[in-house]
């Protein structure tokens, strides 16, 4: 049976990716779009400055954009995807939850809240049961699920594969695409022929969100993973695809071949938007590269390569498409998990 879905913040960069990914989705039927008051009341193709690399689906182009207000969203929507600026999401998401909507949100507010599941379906699907705790504590009829920051989601599947060798410490340096900052985030004069060695708040997000994702859930709360995580985040002039260099200290001996096998064999999930294999491992040490590898698995696969031994463990590079696996695709996959697990 079709699941009726809506998008909060549908006109933005991530909102457009949602529309692209939901076109021809096997079970999700797009039935509501919202944005700011400037866009409300307009046809979608008048309100959105469409910039993704496929045309606006005809049925979506003609849809009317609503206000981001529960009173303006049909009651029969089963699931809302949220791609609002986090300051706006922090204000309006609670109103949708109080009104009984289930929200799969990409915005960063509340990701570390103890009663909010921060989920990657292949890594920690069991954390969804935090919804029961959330409903008890907040009195919401709805449910709020978050996906992580795009840099965090690029690295965490590889760390999950390494955890069988006793993950003790992670040091990561990122090379992040300009689309992560949004269309107006970095000017061409700032980024062409350049690299910017800081992204506000990003180091802390990688350092905390990764430990929640890899943490254990006892039915009441998530205990953060014990590994120390240090991140240094940088912007470079690629369009899409975050590339990251990871140094991981391990308690047990593990050769680069053991690590490659653990990554290749890390199990996927049976959900419509999931890649068949979660992590592709290259033998060629010049890969992964953003332009060549970000679209693997329709933008949902993680790539890794250049695995080498270090004194305390291994180092390697990893890559993911930041606006698909790192944003809209991550929320859609969480929505598919919510449906599979009977939360909607
Ligand atoms: N870009 C990326 O790679 C990633 C982004 N994110 C996060 O996703 C979210 C969206 O990012 P992005 O799509 O780049 O942002 P954009 O600025 O491109 O889009 C923001 C959307 O929110 C709407 N909006 C803005 N203000 C309000 C308001 N006051 N009330 C209601 N709606 C409002 C906009 O509508 P209107 O067009 O009418 O202004 C638009 O639809 C952010 O939280 C971002 O941090 C997360 C991971 C990756
Ligand atoms: N900060 C990320 C994108 C982003 O918006 O992250 P978050 O979802 O944590 O706000 C980047 O610049 O690439």
Residue nearest to atom 9 of ligand 2 (CA): 149
To test ligand 1's pocket by mutation, which of 12, 87, 209 has the most ligand atoms within 8 angstroms of CB? 12
pLDDT band at 146 (very low <50, low <70, confident <90, very high): very high
Edge-first strand listing for the sheet containing 242-250: 228-232, 167-175, 242-250, 313-320, 302-309, 279-281
Q: How many CB atoms lie within 10 A of CB 90?
A: 14
Pairing of strands 143-146, 228-232: unpaired
Q: What are the pLDDT digits (tens) for 151-199?
A: 999 999 999 999 999 999 999 999 999 999 998 899 999 999 999 999 9
Mean pLDDT of 275-286: 98
Is the beta carbon of 180 within 6 A of some atom in ligand 1?
yes
Mean pLDDT of 91-111: 97
Q: Is the pLDDT of residue 81 over 90?
A: yes
pLDDT for 183 equals 85
pLDDT for 128 equals 98
Rounded percentage of the chain residues whose pLDDT exceeds 90 = 99
Mean pLDDT of 235-264: 98
Q: What are the residue numbers of the active site?
A: 150, 242
The SS3 of residue 249 is strand
Pairing of strands 3-8, 79-82: parallel
Q: What are the pLDDT digits (tens) for 26-53?
A: 999 999 999 999 999 999 999 999 999 8
Domains of the chain: 3-149+327-340 (3.40.50.720), 150-321 (3.30.360.10)
Report d(CA 321, CA 180) in Å as an integer.
Answer: 10
pLDDT for 177 equals 98
Residue whose structure tokens are 């935090």: 130
To test ligand 1's pocket by mutation, which of 38, 45, 83 has the most ligand atoms within 8 angstroms of CB? 83
**Average pLDDT taken over every residue of the chain:** 97
Report d(CA 157, CA 169) in Å as an integer.
Answer: 15
pLDDT for 1 equals 76
ipTM: 0.97
Q: What are the pLDDT digits (tens) for 204-227?
A: 999 999 999 999 999 999 999 999
pLDDT for 305 equals 98
Rounded distance from Cα 199 to ligand 2 centre (Å)? 9
């Amino acid at each position: 049976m079709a699941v009726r879905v809506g998008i909060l913040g549908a006109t933005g960069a991530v909102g457009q990716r949602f529309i692209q990914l939901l076109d021809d989705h096997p079970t999700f039927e797009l039935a509501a779009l919202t944005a700011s008051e400037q866009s409300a009341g307009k046809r979608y193709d008048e309100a959105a400055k469409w910039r993704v690399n496929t045309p606006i689906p005809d049925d979506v182009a003609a849809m009317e954009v609503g206000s981001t207000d529960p009173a303006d969203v049909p009651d029969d929507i089963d699931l809302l995807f949220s791609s609002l600026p986090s300051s706006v999401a922090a204000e309006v998401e609670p109103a949708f939850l109080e009104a009984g909507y289930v929200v799969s949100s990409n915005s960063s507010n509340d990701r570390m809240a103890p009663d909010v599941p921060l989920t990657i379906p292949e890594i920690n699907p069991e954390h969804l049961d935090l919804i029961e705790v959330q409903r008890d504590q907040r009195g919401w009829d709805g449910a709020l699920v978050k996906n992580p920051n795009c840099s965090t989601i690029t690295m965490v599947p590889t760390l999950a594969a390494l955890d069988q060798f006793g993950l003790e410490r992670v040091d990561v340096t990122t090379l992040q695409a300009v689309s992560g900052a949004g269309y107006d985030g970095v000017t061409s004069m700032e980024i062409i022929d350049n690299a910017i060695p800081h992204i506000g708040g990003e180091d802390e997000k990688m350092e905390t969100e990764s430990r929640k994702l890899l943490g254990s859930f006892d039915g009441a709360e998530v205990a953060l993973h014990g590994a120390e995580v240090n991140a240094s985040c940088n912007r470079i002039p690629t369009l899409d695809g975050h590339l990251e260099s990871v140094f991981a200290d391990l308690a047990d001996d593990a050769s680069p071949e053991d690590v490659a096998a653990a990554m290749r064999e890390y199990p996927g999930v049976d959900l419509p938007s999931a890649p068949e294999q979660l992590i592709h491992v290259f033998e060629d040490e010049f890969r992964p590269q953003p332009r060549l590898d970000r679209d693997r698995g329709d933008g949902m696969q993680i790539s890794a390569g250049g695995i080498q031994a270090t004194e305390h463990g291994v180092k390697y590079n990893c890559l993911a498409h930041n606006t698909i696996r790192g944003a809209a695709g991550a929320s859609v996959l969480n929505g598919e998990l919510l449906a599979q697990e009977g939360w909607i």
